Amino acid sequence: MVDKEEYGWLYDDMDKLKEKIVFRDRTEYRINGKFHNSKGPAVILKFDPLTLITPDEESINNYYISGNKLNYDEWIIYNREDKLKKLKKKIKQKKELN
């Protein structure tokens, strides 16, 4: 267990902090420290040149929303709902400006 008081200088309490972390064998997308990517897979596995391990086709892309793992079909449904909410918000803002 990490003592936050001792290592407090390592932590940022920033809201909506977006991170793209590239590792040797994977790429991770996070928001507020949780796996999240509404535009694509949140964890993308790739060939590891050090161990010569290639991920199988089914596990290359892992979809997460707010830290919850979803399969591709569930993620597409969430993504459509999210895009519709954003479109409605933009239309409403344009109407208010006119």
Q: What are the residue boundaries of the structural domains of the chain, listed by start?
A: 11-97
- 4 against 49, higher pLDDT: 49
DSSP SS3 for 51: coil
Cα 40 to Cα 35, 43, 95: the distances in Å are 12, 9, 30
pLDDT at 80 over 80: yes
Rounded-to-integer distance, Cα 87 and Cα 95, Å: 12
* Tokens 């109407």, located at residue: 95
36 sits in the region (left: phi over 0; alpha: psi -120 to 50; else beta) called beta
pLDDT tens, position by position, 9-61:
666 666 778 889 999 999 999 998 899 998 899 999 999 888 898 998 888 99
pLDDT of residue 32: 85
| Token duo for residue 5 | 């008081």
By CB atoms closer than 10 A (0-12, 13-18, 19+), residue 66 is exposed
